[in-house]
Amino acid sequence: MNTLEINNLRKEYVDHYTGETIPAIGEVTFSIGEGEFVSVLGPSGCGKTTVLNIVAGFIDHTAGDVLVHGKSVHGPGPDRGVVFQSHALFPWKTVLGNVTFGLRMKGVPRVERERAAADILELVGLSGFERKYPHELSGGMQQRLGLARVLVNEPEVMLMDEPFASIDAQTRRKLQQDLTEIFEKRRPTVFFVTHDIDEAVFLSDRVVVLSARPSTVAEIIDVDLPRPRTWRETVEDPRFREYTHHIEERLGGGEPDAQAG
Amino acid sequence: MTTIDSPARTVGRVRRPGPRRGSEAVWFVVPFVLLVAIWWLVVEVTGTTARTFPQVTDVIAALAEMAASGDLARHLGASLQRMLIGAVLAVVTAIPFGIALGSSPRLSAFFSPLLRFSVALAGIAWIPIATLWLGYGDRAVIFIVWNAMFFALTYNTVLGVQQIPVQTVRAARSMGTRGPRIVWEVLLPGALPSIVTGLRIGLGYGWRGLVAAEIIATNAGLGYALFLAQSQFDTGVIIASMVIIGVLWLLMDRLLLAPLERRTVERWGMKAVS
């Protein structure tokens, strides 16, 4: 059984000014297996974040099903952890307070919470920053914390909404590399939304390419690149370029946003 | 993962070390010293009589007299007690009400015209009706303090809740935060910068309301002391009472609100909206 299944998902909304019904998601079906890293890629405005928001339970869908381990989901829940582009950390909580938040909500005792937090902070490279507040961290560190805050809860599936999109190019490379290492160590199930083709291919086991709005699945590509992956080795692999060129063509080549950071 | 990107430079006010804070305090006092000097000089040069405006020394004498006779302690005690009760009542009523309005678009749409209307009327304009309902005494004054604070505090709490990014609330929900726990874990701390602003504005309104209500409705308190001195043409006591009212407000702001802000909003890097 797949960890996450998205079946015939459709989303329409009513424009408040014109009263027209606008289709946002035409028909999207794909699934993610346990321990699999799947990216959803598409031109900006194609509705990929809408798909993620529906899976997260933040917004309703018009038709279709979202199943986690075969069970239909409604509303947000700790089985689906979300890493936001805007990181959405709690500014009034320390690094430790942010990381232990989900465990506290679950009722995990303090000692256990802090032990789990120490492991995760070590994993994302934030040991020693426990007492800092989010505003005292750099953008890259904030996003590591956003990742740690979700990883520590061991959700069934991690939903990542363009987490590196607003981070400078060099730090982004480093974060992608680190995310790959973390993924290879822990094997969480990941649903990753991005508009960066290189990022999608580098990180993923499979890439789901969405068409422009109303979005449908244009193609699903198996990324057959060896793990562990490093940027240096992966970009030299001719298959990496084949994948990215193929996806570029699929997206219409000229789509400037698909290449932009 | 061995290397780490460097921490961001801390934005906003950094806590100053001891000596700097000391010099800050000195600079805080300087304008007041200047004001007193000018006051003394003007009264001296123009030969103004105490009937019109007292000399600095008259006011100091009046203060000493008030302190010695026990009037100062009595008025101060009465005023502060009413202020405290009114303020606590305002906090425990306005913040929950504001959070309820802020988290429900329907409720806030319904109440916001009423709220705007009431902000203009809050406090002093209610004194006649307060004395009709509650008689002359503590209860009417406490009602005025509560009333003066309530609307400003509610309004700013609503604003604070509405300014919390939707992603922050979503993050909490997706980590299993349910029902009323959202209020305690997210809405209250998230709205705190704006709540502190509301508290500051509200306490200012409340303080003014207190003095006005005491002038009319009681036989103790700083406002009453002002009123009594006026009927006896005692300008020394009038100005002395005004000075006490002003100094108390400054102390409240510096010793209560500023530390609250430093420990929460500034520490968290959430700038207070003003």
**Residue B226 class from Cβ within 10 Å (0-12 exposed, 13-18 middle, 19+ buried)?**
buried
Q: Which domain holds residue A17?
A: 1-74+205-261
Probe site for chain A from B2, B3, B5, B164 (most A CB atoms < 10 A): B5
Decide if A222 is inside a domain.
yes
Decide if A80 is inside a domain.
no
On whether the CB atoms of residues B197 and B219 are closer than 8 A, the answer is: no
Which pLDDT score, from 0 to 100, does residue B19 have? 55
Nearest residue in chain A measured CA to CA from B264 = A92
Residue A107 Cα distances to A96, B82, B208, B254, angstroms? 16, 42, 47, 39
Q: Residue A144 CB: number of other CB atoms within 10 A? A: 29
Distance, in Å, from the CA atom of B182 to the CA atom of B84, rounded to the nearest integer, reads: 29
Nearest residue in chain B measured CA to CA from A137 = B7
**Residue A88 class from Cβ within 10 Å (0-12 exposed, 13-18 middle, 19+ buried)?**
buried
Q: Which token pair is A158?
A: 């991690």
Decide if A137 is inside a domain.
no
Distance, in Å, from the CA atom of B9 to the CA atom of B108, rounded to the nearest integer, reads: 38
User: What tens digit of pLDDT does each residue of A242-257 get?
Assistant: 999 999 988 875 444 4
The CATH number assigned to the domain holding A252 equals 3.40.50.300
Which pLDDT score, from 0 to 100, does residue B195 have? 94
Interface membership of B260 toward A (CB under 8 Å): no
Decide if A103 is inside a domain.
no
E strands present in A15-139: 21-32, 37-41, 63-68, 71-72, 80-83
| pLDDT at residue B62 tops 60 | yes
B84, β-bridge pairs = none
Of A42-51, A79-88, A149-158, B62-71, which range is least confident? A42-51
Distance, in Å, from the CA atom of B182 to the CA atom of B172, rounded to the nearest integer, reads: 7
Decide if A41 is inside a domain.
yes
Interface membership of A97 toward B (CB under 8 Å): no
For B5, which of A81, A133, A141 is closest by C-beta distance? Answer: A141
Which pLDDT score, from 0 to 100, does residue B179 have? 86
Decide if A254 is inside a domain.
yes
Per the rule left: phi > 0, alpha: psi between -120 and 50, beta: everything else, A238 is alpha
Interface membership of A56 toward B (CB under 8 Å): yes
pLDDT band at B242 (very low <50, low <70, confident <90, very high): very high
Query: What is chain B's percent helix, strand, coil content, to nearest 5?
Result: 80, 0, 20
Nearest CA of chain A to the CA of B185: how many Å? 9
Domain count, chain A: 1
Which pLDDT score, from 0 to 100, does residue B21 have? 66
Contact yes or no for A82 and B170 at CB 8 A? yes
User: What tens digit of pLDDT does each residue of A113-131 get?
Assistant: 999 999 999 999 999 999 9
Probe site for chain B from A93, A130, A135 (most B CB atoms < 10 A): A135
On whether the CB atoms of residues B200 and B258 are closer than 8 A, the answer is: no
Decide if A156 is inside a domain.
no
Distance, in Å, from the CA atom of A198 to the CA atom of A193, rounded to the nearest integer, reads: 13
Decide if A260 is inside a domain.
yes
Q: How many residues does chain A have?
A: 261
Contact yes or no for A133 and B267 at CB 8 A? yes
**Contact residues on chain A for B171, CB-CB shorter than 8 A:** 82, 84, 88-90, 149
| pLDDT at residue B7 tops 90 | no
Q: Which token pair is A103?
A: 């465990």
Contact yes or no for B176 and A91 at CB 8 A? no
| B47-86 residues touching A, CB cutoff 8 A | none
pLDDT higher at B272 or A114: A114
- Unique residue bearing structure tokens 């003007």: B42
- Unique residue bearing structure tokens 């990941």: A190
Q: What is the ipTM of this complex?
A: 0.91
Size of interface A-B (CB pairs under 8 A): 101
Q: Which token pair is B109?
A: 């749409």
Q: Which domains are assigned to chain B? A: 69-266 (1.10.3720.10)
Distance, in Å, from the CA atom of B60 to the CA atom of B237, rounded to the nearest integer, reads: 9
